[in-house]
Chains A and B, each alone.
Chain A
Amino acid sequence: MSAYRVLVGCKRVIDYAVKIRVKPDKLGVVTDGVKHSMNPFDEIAIEEAIRLKEKKLASEVVAFSCGPTASQETLRTAMAMGADRAIHVEIDGKEAETLQPIHVAKLLSKVAQEEKIDIIMLGKQAIDDDCNQTAQMTASLLNWPQATFASKIENDNGSFKVTREIDGGLETIKVKLPAVISADLRLNEPRYATLPNIMKAKKKPLAKKKPSDYGVEVKAHQQVLKVEDPPVRQAGQKLETVEDLVVKLKDGGFV
């Protein structure tokens, strides 16, 4: 049984703990000087890929990110966690703002073909756009099977048995490789990048590419019209009894 080559996508997003503020021009959110980190679901994807390597199921873990130069920080964190090398597809600030999952999926599929990848691991969604599309689109472009919202992955002789978190509970499917997997929250708990590994990661290769190297166009095909804060939450009402509640619901036309 030969070891698999794994490609992991990671995205540099605004840190989950930061309070998001809308820009005064209402065309986006404030990103200047704001703390950024790796998308939490992508951290989980990287962790799973490294665990596959530790179990000797994977031979190489390649981290991938597309975005402005700062995305390289994210890749360095991925390598500090244990990825063997990284590929950065440079997309400048303006174009990065309008980058869509379909663009990323096209790049991922081209990279996967060039690098002879067996498993693509992605986070299920990015916490900035919450699209939850990249894994599905990538699988479709490559015509590979997909196992999304993975909360458990088990090896099964050339296939993977993946437990998925779905609305109704848990579903277990078997996917033949090569395949695309997207990581959900409970798949694992990512390790800390230890200091020795951070230092070792400096020597790992980081390839710098452009979308044209893969023949992919990343032109915007959407335009953001407006970004607004969600409406301020209205005060609720305290009621004494269940009967009162039913009356209110009936009056409001909810029942």
Chain B
Amino acid sequence: MLHTRTFTSNIFKLQNAEHLSLYRSIFLCQEVKQKSDQSREIYGSSDSKMAEIIYNSDHIQLQQSLRKIIDQEINPYVDQWEKDGHFPAKTVFKKLGSAGFLGVTKPTDYGGLGLDFTYSVAMAEELGNINCGGVPMAIGVQTDMATPALARFGSDKLKKEFLEPSISGDSVACLGVSEVGAGSDVANINTRGSRQGDDLIINGGKMWITNGTQADWMCLLANTGEQKQQHKNKSLICLPMNLPGITIAKKIDKMGMRCSDTAQIYFEDVRVPRSHIIGEEGKGFVYQMLQFQEERLYAAAVLISPLENIIRETAKYTLQREAFGKPLLSNQVIHFRLAELETEIELLRSLLYRTVALYIAGNDVTKLASMCKLKSGRLARELIDSCLQYWGGMGFTNDVLVSRLYRDFRLISIGGGADEVMLSVICKYLNILPK
């Protein structure tokens, strides 16, 4: 009860009149003609995004324009990129950057559009129409993982050198946080930045670095202070990737997300000026944590479209594939299962939109965002596994989208905040996490 009241009062606080009218029509039961979902080709798509609580016509226009770029500049090449195990980040990011899509929420002083987070979510949802997980993930690192802290806390000089070209698509960014011995346990990273006059000397290594083999700079998290206070001794540093001492040791051979290059990187006495520290020294960990909510919501948003697509593709396939004299789809277990999974997608979408609405109204949505991340990783595995079964032998080949997404989306429960970490967060909010 309390939650609903808080939620509704927050909706009223939203300045956007369109949100208010949507609230009235949805919660006060005025007639909103909800157009029935139809798949893109045969089964249509939700052309009724306008009725969604966090979107207005601007979001739809953004999505339509982005869709054109995806259809013409990205999707035709995805199969080849997957085969090559590499996609040309520079080229793709430049195309997106020129159209303004890499700086949606970034400050206008540096080429961004200064829009609110709902536009990031709209963009993430549209990126889900790319026929692989690797490219949206790489774009997400550029827009929502490597750059938010810089945009919020970096000096003007740093922003001009690193943020501006990342927004225009001239620079490829990567995020250097995870290490071989520290993924979920970020506080335990070993990479050190020792002070030497006006410079920092970086020693250590990073692991699982998306865009790592192509990046021009890295947003690096390193220990720069006393060993004792693990949450207060780290700094975020803008590290140009062409400095001597940086070695791209390995391009990791992964089960999925194959067109996205993931690197293991070593630092040996890498010298970087202390002025490259983003914001205050020692605040790196806190800065990085501030954007966790957005990262988790992004992960959920990117999954909605591909999961929807797989349901429709599976319906299409099982309609024409016959066994024992009739289409597979006419078996109740199959069409009922698809309906169950479609329900789950809408539940995830509702959780996502509600969380986003609360977030842009200024609330702390850590618990709900963690739930979004947890649910999206698990739903992706469940849904794609169920659908793949109905594809039979075809589902097991590398010629179909469902098998690629099966491999790609297994990562969601692991990266960007493992399921177990999300569960711990939720337990904390329930006050049931052992001290």
Q: Is B184 an interface residue (CB 8 A)?
A: no
A19 to chain B: closest residue by CB? B41
Report yes or no: B61 in contact with A77, Cβ–Cβ below 8 A: yes
Q: Is B196 an interface residue (CB 8 A)?
A: no
Q: Is A193 an interface residue (CB 8 A)?
A: yes
Within residues 31 to 89 of chain B, which ones have a CB less than 8 A from any CB in chain A? 35-36, 38, 40-42, 44-45, 47-48, 57-58, 60-62, 64-65, 68-69
Q: Hey, which chain B residues are within 8 Å of A193, CB to CB? A: 61, 64-65
Q: Hey, which chain A residues are within 8 Å of B113, CB to CB? A: 195-196, 199
Report yes or no: B65 in contact with A192, Cβ–Cβ below 8 A: yes
Report yes or no: B61 in contact with A34, Cβ–Cβ below 8 A: no
Q: Hey, which chain A residues are within 8 Å of B98, CB to CB? A: 194
Q: Is A186 an interface residue (CB 8 A)?
A: no
Report yes or no: B99 in contact with A34, Cβ–Cβ below 8 A: no
Q: Is B263 an interface residue (CB 8 A)?
A: no
Report yes or no: B68 in contact with A192, Cβ–Cβ below 8 A: yes
B123 to chain A: closest residue by CB? A195
The range of chain B's interface size is 20 to 34
Shortest CB-to-CB span from A43 to chain B, Å, is 10
Report yes or no: B48 in contact with A195, Cβ–Cβ below 8 A: no
Q: Is A213 an interface residue (CB 8 A)?
A: no
Shortest CB-to-CB span from B55 to chain A, Å, is 14
B101 to chain A: closest residue by CB? A195
Report yes or no: B36 in contact with A76, Cβ–Cβ below 8 A: no
Report yes or no: A195 in contact with B47, Cβ–Cβ below 8 A: no
Report yes or no: B38 in contact with A194, Cβ–Cβ below 8 A: no
- Which of B35, B44, B58, B60 touches A202 (beta carbons < 8 Å)? B58
Q: Hey, which chain B residues are within 8 Å of A202, CB to CB? A: 58
- Which of B35, B36, B62 touches A198 (beta carbons < 8 Å)? B62
Q: How far is the CA of A80 from the CA of B68 in the complex (A)?
A: 14
Report yes or no: B41 in contact with A195, Cβ–Cβ below 8 A: no
Report yes or no: A194 in contact with B99, Cβ–Cβ below 8 A: yes
Q: How far is the CA of A19 from the CA of B41 in the complex (A)?
A: 6
Report yes or no: B65 in contact with A194, Cβ–Cβ below 8 A: yes
A/B interface sample: 5 pairs, CB < 8 A: A18-B40, A32-B35, A33-B38, A73-B61, A195-B99
Binding site for B on A (CB under 8 A): 17-19, 32-37, 73, 76-77, 80, 192-199, 202
Known A37-B64, A77-B64, A199-B58; further 6 A-B contacts with Cβ < 8 A: A17-B41, A34-B47, A192-B99, A194-B99, A195-B62, A195-B99
